[in-house]
């Protein structure tokens, strides 16, 4: 059975946090979607709150600690990425942005990414499209069409939007699984690559 690695970057500040809860649900959904097509998954979770001081020092000194370096390595070597941030003032958190700032340029180019965000109110829902998606487009990743946003009212059995959130999670997970499953497959060769050039045809006459 094929095996793939998914890195989950979560920038929640609390413990536990809604951001981590959403990240875990997304990871589980992606694991199930890949399992349905006979692909095993290793999930690597990176809690950015555990690296907050090291990230600041990395910006100031240019050097990463052993722990931060290992976390960065997990992300850049993963077959797919789930990135989840809390939304503050209509954008991603500073901690979230710093982590992706310290990665090498083009380190994530071509990587399939599922983006998600949490906030206390649905007023922030557009941030995932006007802030988070452009960040990963700039990093030249392949961002799945469905971004997942969860406000406080989406959680729990009493949440009025819980069924809709579950549907978005499953849809986004399926999109990421599809990209991961097809990544690296050989593409058909150029059907015109072996054609004789016009000059050679003339020379043959």
Q: What are the residues whose beta carbons fall under 8 Å from the beta carbon of 84, sequence distance 6 or more? A: 8, 9, 10, 11, 12, 19, 20, 22, 23, 26, 115, 116, 117, 118
* CB atoms near residue 65 (< 10 Å): 15
Provide the whole-model pTM.
0.86
* 51 in Cβ contact with 99 (< 8 Å): yes
pLDDT in tens, 124-146: 889 999 999 999 999 999 999 99
Tell me the pLDDT tens digit for each residue of 59-99.
999 899 999 999 999 999 999 999 999 999 889 999 999 99
- Indicate the average pLDDT of the chain: 88
Q: Residue 83 phi/psi, 5° resolution? A: -120, 120
Strand pairing partners for 92? 87
| Nearest to 99, CA basis, from 2, 9, 29 | 9
pLDDT at 4 > cutoff 90: yes
CA angle 71, 75, 80 (to 5 degrees): 150
**Residue 2 — very low, low, confident or very high, per pLDDT cuts 50/70/90?**
confident
- Sketch the domain layout of the chain as residue ranges: 2-204
pLDDT at residue 32 tops 80: yes
Mean pLDDT of 47-64: 94
2-204: CATH topology: Rossmann fold (3.40.50)
Instruction: Read off φ and ψ for residue 115, nearest 5 degrees.
Output: -105, 145
């Amino acid at each position: 059975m094929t095996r793939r690695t998914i890195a989950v970057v979560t920038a929640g500040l609390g413990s536990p946090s809604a951001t981590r809860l959403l990240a875990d649900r997304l990871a589980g959904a992606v694991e199930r979607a890949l399992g349905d097509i006979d692909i095993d998954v290793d999930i690597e979770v990176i809690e950015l709150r555990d690296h907050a001081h090291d990230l600041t020092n990395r910006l100031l000194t240019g050097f990463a600690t052993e722990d931060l370096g290992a976390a960065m390595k997990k992300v850049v070597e993963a077959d797919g990425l789930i990135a989840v941030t809390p939304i503050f003032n209509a954008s991603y958190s500073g901690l979230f942005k710093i982590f992706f700032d310290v990665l090498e340029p083009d380190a994530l180019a071509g990587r399939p990414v599922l983006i998600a965000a949490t906030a206390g109110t649905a007023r922030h829902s557009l941030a995932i499209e006007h802030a988070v998606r452009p960040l990963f487009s700039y990093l030249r990743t392949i961002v799945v069409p469905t971004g997942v946003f969860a406000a406080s009212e989406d959680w729990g059995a009493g949440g009025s939007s819980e069924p809709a959130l579950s549907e978005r999670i499953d849809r986004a997970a399926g999109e990421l699984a599809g990209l991961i499953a097809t990544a690296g497959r050989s593409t058909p060769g150029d059907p015109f690559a072996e054609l004789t050039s016009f000059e050679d045809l003339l020379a043959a006459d």
